[in-house]
Structure 1
Amino acid sequence: MAEYDDHPAYPVGLRLNGRRVVVVGGGQVAQRRLPALIAAGADITLVSPSATASVEAMADTGEIRWERRRYQDGDLTDTWYALVASSDAEANDAASAEAERTRTWCVRSDDAEAATAWTPATGRSEGITVAVLTTTSQGRDPRHSAAVRDAIVEGLRDGTLAAPHHRTRAPGVALVGGGPGDPDLITVRGRRLLAEADVVIADRLGPRDLLDELPPHVEVIDAAKIPYGRYMAQEAINQALIDHAKAGKAVVRLKGGDPFVFGRGMEEAQALAAEGIACTVVPGISSSISVPGAAGIPVTHRGVAHEFTVVSGHVAPDDPRSLVDWAALAQLRGTLVLLMAVDKIGSIARALIDHGKSPDTPVALVQEGTTAAQRRVDATLATVGERAAAEDVRPPAVIVIGEVVAVGPEPSGHSAE
């Protein structure tokens, strides 16, 4: 292949749907490369005496055909693309030679210079495939290719790399779960949609730090400050979403946690559907599991808790509006996670004890979880009401009840009973 040394590779995207592809070798290289070939719709035959467990699973599920033997001359007949990646140097050379004779594009994992094709460092973001090859007179540098790929894809995903759409975007609303508070915990898709928005209607508990990164033309609306007028608060938010979407804007409703975990996201989705407005739901990391985790508390743990139950505590147990069966919850052996329950924790604890839960059950209150202001206060079910008041625990806080509170090392910011 010396005649190609001083010439750069010609980049091209192969359309392999329904076309025969042969992979020689079932080891780690094949394990990494096969998923992309499967996603491309290729008709894949694997030729190898053995394979990793993951590759074998692909054969078992019918995603690939596996010929359990060494490579034989003629295996590349009618093949469009070949990946030669076995640990058998003789077989690799023979397969590569056949590919050259049959004019089949061939990638060699063991000898790039003997290949007729190179696999670029590839990444994807919302319908865009980024493929990077670095070639110099001194040879290829795959690590540099991967670093460039990662920088481009990350920039596209988080909006720091400007890539404006030149086709007209359809207006609509995205209900984006922003996660528990740390701006790094919003999903990749949520952050990208936020970067592309014309209007953002944000909750107080959303990742507020991300709002400072938005371009100056983006209108940011604090949901807590929307004038009520003749509407209740949620109806006013619904109407704002509708009005901006009908004005042709790309709207993001930035919510804390997940839109559908005590987030009233479905009410907003229903209001938009009634007006015929397109709505995209982007799930978020719920504080019910992420905040305990950030405080060193697993909501489940082998031999301790095989279940966890998430409960809204915004209504007291003796309130006729309550939909929670506190008597049933008191009988559960797993973990209880309470959201929006700081001011009701005393009455909730009493109800659980009255219905049979041990007063010695460990309890942890985690305030401002995942943020720089995070702190944890520990108590028992018998003392949690007094402890919450004495420590001035304030919303937002997640309360964990159960033996999992005592599992694991004591985290920083821990306040002992």
Structure 2
Amino acid sequence: MRLNIGLDVAGRRVVVCGGSPTALGVIMDLYGAGAAVTVIARTVPTTLRDLAERQLLTWHARSWTETDLFGVALVVPATDDPAETERITDAARAAGQLCLTPSAVTTPANTHPTDPMPGQGHVTLVGGGPGDPGLLTVAGLEAVRTADVIVCDRLAPLAVLAEAPAGAQVIDVAKIPRGEYTPQERINELLVEHALLGRKVVRLKGGDNFVFGRGGEELLACAEAGVPVTVIPGVSSAIAAPALAGIPLTHRSLTQGVTIVSAHLPPGHPDSTLDWAALARANTTLVIMMGVATLPEVTSELIKQGMDPATPAATVADAGMPSQRSVRATLATIAEVTAQTGIKPPAVTVIGAVAGFQA
């Protein structure tokens, strides 16, 4: 469903009644337009819960009432029950409010597909970029527009789901750091199951599928099942987040290289394969992915291994979204400053001379 309605919602309240992933694209489209979005539903999928916890929207865990529909700019039904959708629409109209009904259908992640479609299925792995739908590639957008099934996570540019065809299934497989998640094995199964039924499946992720995106695992699962796969690269947040904050990862006279690492495991963890001593000596820009929770251990280890505590550092959160923010400090203080600012994932930390770059 598209929102080409000519309505200026910037700073205005929009109420979404129901907790279906059907309206994810509309919700993020409205959020990107500056609307104050309130979702009213007893339960919501993982992605919507995450958006509420990040304070990107408001969630009231209860059933909607007619009084919720007054004084708002727009009402959006988000339920898989046609009768309930009709009740919401009728109540909104009775209250004199504009109501916009999503047209796509959705299935939960634990639902097994049925009703085979003619022809051979296909999976397209789409890197969605850092979150701004404008940073999705043209090829990626075309894949969304022609998909039968879209398997998406919380960091994908969810506003582009509004471009999905009517009747497309939107499957939320969000993973919350140290919280609720859909196992990767189940995601692999969903891609294969739908493709084997002749469907055009899009796996829509944030950033690039092959840069800490587990796209390789999804590619292998499809290959083993005989499912053809197309890979559409995306703009990795490792590059996009610093760029959107005005930080060049390379700059003549400052650095001649970039090292990108995942810090979801802290230094010293038995499963960590990183050589932090080598990273401290490398004299390249260091980009830390998935490192908000472990940043104190990371910075302490780099200093212990000889990196100058005064090395410039910066953390960029929610890159490409209206809520984007960044902080700058030094290697010795960036963990504390990041925590004091209340930054939570998704965020990228840049360590090196370029983090002090100012235009």
> Would you call these one fold, judging by a TM-score over 0.5?
yes
Cα gap change, 1:382 to 1:200, in 2 (>3 Å): same
* Cα deviation digits, residues 79-132 of structure 1 (max 9, x gap): xxxxxxxxxxxxxxxxxxxxxxxxxxxxxxxxxxxxxxxxxxxxxxxxxxxxxx
- Matching residue of 1:385: 335
- For residue 351 of structure 2, what is the amino acid of its counterpart? I
Deviations 1:19-77 (A, max 9, x none): xxxxxxxxxxxxxxxxxxxxxxxxxxxxxxxxxxxxxxxxxxxxxxxxxxxxxxxxxxx
Residue in 1 aligned with 2:273? 323
Equivalent position to 2:233, from 260, 279, 283:
283
Shift of 1:169: 6.1
State whether structure 2 residue 240 is matched by structure 1 residue 264: no
Compute the displacement of 1:259 (Å): 0.6
Task: Name which of 269, 275, 291 aligns with 1:341.
Answer: 291
2:166 paired with 1:233: no
Match 1:299 to one of 230, 249, 253: 249
* Aligned residue among 330, 333, 348 for 1:398: 348
Please give the per-residue CA displacement for 1:122-170, whole angstroms capped at 9, x wherever unaligned.
xxxxxxxxxxxxxxxxxxxxxxxxxxxxxxxxxxxxxxxxxxxxxx864
Extract unaligned runs of 5+ from structure 1. Answer: 1-167, 226-230, 410-417
RMSD across aligned C-alpha pairs, in angstroms?
Answer: 1.4
Instruction: Tell me the residue number matched to 1:126.
Output: none
Rounded to whole Å, the distance in 1 between the matches of 2:325 and 2:353 is 19
Aligned equivalents of 1:312 and 1:365: distance in 2?
A: 14
Equivalent-residue separation in structure 2 for 1:239 and 1:323 (angstroms): 28
Aligned residue in 1 for 2:123: 173
- The Cα shift of 1:232 comes to 7.2
Match of 1:211 among 136, 161, 170: 161
Task: Give the secondary-structure state (helix, strand or coil) at the position aligned to 2:144.
Answer: helix
CA distance in 2, matches of 1:184, 1:224: 21
* Residue pair 2:133, 2:160 contacting (<8 A) in 1 also: yes
How far, CA to CA, are the matches of 2:344 and 2:327 in structure 1? Answer: 11
Q: Which residue of 2 aligns with 1:195?
A: 145
Shift of 1:361: 0.6
State the SS of the aligned residue for 1:343.
coil
> Aligned partners of 2:190, 2:344: CA distance in 1, in Å?
30
1:261 is paired with a residue of what secondary structure? coil
Q: Secondary structure at the match of 2:293?
A: helix
User: After the TM superposition, which of the residue ranges 319-328 and 379-388 deviates more from structure 2?
Assistant: 379-388
Aligned counterparts of 2:316 and 2:192: Cα–Cα separation in 1: 36
Q: Secondary structure at the match of 2:294?
A: helix
Q: Which has the higher contact order (CA 8 A, sep 6+)?
A: 2
Q: Does 1:247 align with 2:203?
A: no
TM norm structure 1: 0.56
- Displacement of 1:333: 1.2
Aligned length: 237
**% same residue:** 49
- Spell out the pairing of 1:140-179 with structure 2 (5 A cutoff): 170-179=120-129
Report how far residue 178 of structure 1 moved.
0.4
Give the aligned partner of residue 303 of structure 2.
Answer: 353
AA of the residue aligned to 1:252 = V
CA distance in 1, matches of 2:127, 2:174: 17
State the shift of 1:216 in Å.
2.4
* CA displacement at 1:378 relative to structure 2: 1.0
Please list the CA deviations of residues 301-339 of structure 1 after superposition, one character each: whole Å capped at 9, or x if unmatched.
000011010000100001010011100000011200011
Matches of residues 70-149 of structure 1 in structure 2 within 5 Å? Answer: none
Measure, in 2, the Cα distance between the counterparts of 1:404 and 1:170.
49
Residue 323 of structure 2: aligned partner: 373
**Stretches of structure 2 lacking an aligned partner (at least 5 in a row):** 1-117, 176-180
Name the residue aligned to 1:221: 171
For 1:379 and 1:216, the matched residues in 2 are separated by 47
d(CA) in 2 for partners of 1:169, 1:399: 46
Runs of 4+ in structure 1 over 6 Å off:
none
Paired position in structure 2 for 1:66 = none
Matched residue, 2:74: none
- Counterpart residue type for residue 268 of structure 1: E
- 1:181 aligns to what SS in structure 2? coil
* Counterpart amino acid of residue 241 in structure 1: L
How far does the alpha carbon of each residue in 1:349-370 deviate from its partner, in whole angstroms, 9 at most, with x for none?
Answer: 0000000000001110000011
The DSSP-based 3-state class of the residue aligned with 1:273 is: helix
* Residues 174 and 182 in structure 2, CA contact (< 8 A), matched pair in contact too: no
TM-score by length of 2: 0.64
Q: In the aligned structure 2, how far is the partner of 1:172 from the partner of 1:388?
A: 42
Residue aligned with 1:276, SS: coil
From the CA coordinates, give the structure whose radius of gyration is larger.
1
